[in-house]
Structures are given as structure tokens and as C-alpha cells.
Structure 1
Amino acid sequence: MEHEEKMTDVQDADTNLRDETAEAAPEVANHDRVAALEAQLAEAKAAVLYAQAETQNVRRRAEKEAQDARAYAATGFARDVLSVADNITRALAAIPQALREDEKLKGLVTGLEATGREVDSVFGRHGISKIVAVGEALDPNRHQAMMEIPTADAEPGTVVQEIQTGYMIRDRLLRPALVGVAKKPD
């Protein structure tokens, strides 16, 4: 009988455990569902944050590209006008002093000088500036060395002659200065 009582006790304990497990199962299932929903919510929040960051990056990139387009829109036109500025400078340099003082040509010289100043003024309004070359160290980002000039008057690598003026448009190179660079005498 004792054996039967023990068996009954084990069966009762097993039944009680099953009842407790059955009662706890909905709680465990609810906990698992809540954990799964919380994980999905965390994933959704991360996806939203990523999408917001990507949208902000695209917006910034578009604003920068639009700003660059406005700032450098005149680049092609400016390159074309540089030859006009070069020709005016050459024309003024070619006029000998005796002709500059001739009353018949004074108006022509004054007109060429005024045109040169106006071209410089227009360049300035559009962010186009001349590159300083003579006396500076050769900068391959701004100068293009065309020849080496033997001289003891300047350090090797220093620009001693400007063949053609270089220009920048804001912070970008429009045209490099064509220069002669000092080298040690033979």
C-alpha cells in the first residue's frame, strides 16, 4: 500500500506540475511575444533612424552640389574670356612709351586701359583672381613650369618669370600660370 500511496503522490505531483505549467504557459507565451515585439520595435526604430540619416546626407549633398553649381557656373565662360584679358594686356604692353604720349593715340591707350580695368573688375565680382607667381616657390597646383632659367639671384625652384598669368575661380584652379623657374647656374 505504501507503494501505491507513493505512486499516487507522484501522480498528484505530476498533475499539479502540469496544472502549474499550463497556468504558466500563457504567461511564458505572452512574455515571448512581448520580447519578439520589442525586438521588432527596436529594428523598426533603427531602420527609421538610418533612413533619416540617409535622407539628411542626401539633402546635404544636394545643397552642396547646388552651391557649387552656383559658385562655379561661370567657369567655362571665364576660361573663354581669359584670352580677351590676355590680348588686352598684350596690346597695352606692346605700346611704346612714345606712342602713349602721342595725343592722337592717347584716347586709344586710355580706352584699352579702361577695358583692362573693367575686365579685372568683372573677374573680381565673379570670384576670379590672378595667381601670384613671380617670387613664389613653384606650386604644381597653381603653376606650370615651362622652362628653367639659370640664375644666382633666386633660390632654385622659385618662379622668376611669368609667361602667362594664371587664374583661380574662388578656391579652384581656372588656369595655371605658365612660368619660368630658377635653377642653379651652370
Structure 2
Amino acid sequence: MTDDTTQSPEEQTVAEDFKGKIEDVLPEDQSEAPSEDAELAKLREDLATAKQDVLYAKAETQNVRRRLEKDIADTRAYAATGFARDILSVADNLSRALSVIPAELREDEKLKNLIAGLDATGREIDKVFASHGITRIASTGLPLDPNQHQAMLEIPSADAEPGTIVQELQAGYMIKDRLLRPAMVAVAKKPD
């Protein structure tokens, strides 16, 4: 065995090579080592980035919450839309039935109560529509509004301005501020 204090020439060569490699890795001058100021600046930059990310996350969360609240409010306000569309055909049929009853049948004592009941049912349907924000669209005598009316035919008319609604074929309805069903109308055109 060799003594720890004395090294063979081979051991000295290995030790010098190792020492040289260590010196290559270690900086000779302290100015090349990262300074505390640079580390502090990097930490401040990282903190500013993290703060910005938190602000963006908060803003996005707030936007999602607002959208969700609006969707919930819309769902509540317009939940009855599908049902209302289905009931419109019932109201239309009742209205048509009442409009074709001749005057002599209205005066007949046997049918008077039946007709009064049908009239009351029609008024009740209108009342229920009003309580749920369903309103009838005005049409006859007004200019055609493609957002509320659907022109089904043109009728030559010398009395009405072209583009004016002269006849309502089927009533249109709104539910609050949305179109439930457009009014189907006949529009005046210049006579031939």
C-alpha cells in the first residue's frame, strides 16, 4: 500500500487533471457569477408575471360567471317558449271557431251558454298569455316588418300604400322581446 502523503507519478497526473477540470467549472472571477441583483430582478419579473396571470384568471372567472348568470336569466325568461308555440295553435283554432259562428246561432238559447263559455275560454287564454309576457303582434295597416311579419301573398290595392299589410292571415306573437311566431300577412301592391 502506498502512503497517503506520497503520490505516485500516475496519481499526481490524475489529481492535476481533476483539479484542472474543477477550475474550468468554477468561475475565476466573481463578476461572472450571477449577482444577487440579477437574481432579485428575475424574481421581481416572475412575481409580476404571476400577478398578471392571477388578474387574467380572475377576469376570466368573472366573465364565465356573468355569462352563466345571463344564461340562467334567459332560461327562466324563455322557458315556456316551446309550450307557448304549441298552445298558439289551440288559441288559433278556438279563435277560428268563434269567428265562424253565425249571428243567429249566437242568439239561440240552446247554444248561448256554450258560445259564452268558448268566449270566456278565449279571454282566459289571452290573460294567461299576457301574464307570461306573450303579446300579439300588430299588423293590419302597418308597413311590413320582416322581423315580425311573413308576407304570404300580395293583393292589388289602390287604397293602401304598396308594402302595407292589408290582411292578417294568422296572428303573430312575441314572448317578451323575442319573436315567438311571425304574423302571416297579405301585403298591398300597386294595381295592374
Q: For this structure pair, what is the TM-score category when the shorter chain's length is used for normalisation?
A: 0.7 to 0.9
Q: 1:158 aligns with which of 164, 169, 178?
A: 164
Task: Output one character per residue of 1:44-98: Cα deviation in whole Å (capped at 9) or x when no partner.
Answer: 1110010001000100111111111111111111111001100110011011112
Task: Output one character per residue of 1:110-150: Cα deviation in whole Å (capped at 9) or x when no partner.
Answer: 10110000001111111111111111111111111000011
Q: Distance in 1 between matches of 2:119 and 2:101?
A: 11
User: What one-letter code is carried by the residue in structure 2 that aligns with 1:115?
Assistant: T
Give TM-score, length-normalised by structure 2: 0.81
| Paired residues for 1:96-135 under 5 Å | 96-135=102-141
Q: Distance in 2 between matches of 1:31 and 1:113?
A: 89
Q: 1:70 aligns with which of 56, 59, 76?
A: 76
1:38 is matched with 44
| Paired residues for 1:139-158 under 5 Å | 139-158=145-164
Percent identity at matched positions? 66
User: How far is the alpha carbon of 1:161 from its aligned partner?
Assistant: 0.3
2:67 is matched with 61
Q: Distance in 1 between matches of 2:75 and 2:131?
A: 17
Q: Which runs of 4+ in 1 moved over 6 A?
A: none
Q: Distance in 1 between matches of 2:120 and 2:156?
A: 37
Q: Distance in 2 between matches of 1:118 and 1:38?
A: 70
Q: Distance in 1 between matches of 2:96 and 2:168?
A: 13
Q: Distance in 2 between matches of 1:163 and 1:150?
A: 16
User: What one-letter code is carried by the residue in structure 2 that aligns with 1:48?
Assistant: V
2:10 is matched with none
User: How far is the alpha carbon of 1:25 from its aligned partner?
Assistant: 7.7
Is 1:170 the equivalent of 2:172? Answer: no
2:96 is matched with 90
Unaligned runs of 5+ in 2: 1-28
Aligned length: 164
3-state DSSP of counterpart to 1:162: strand
Q: Distance in 2 between matches of 1:42 and 1:160?
A: 68
User: How far is the alpha carbon of 1:109 from its aligned partner?
Assistant: 1.1
User: What one-letter code is carried by the residue in structure 1 that aligns with 2:174?
Assistant: M
Q: 2:58 aligns with which of 52, 68, 83?
A: 52
2:35 is matched with 29
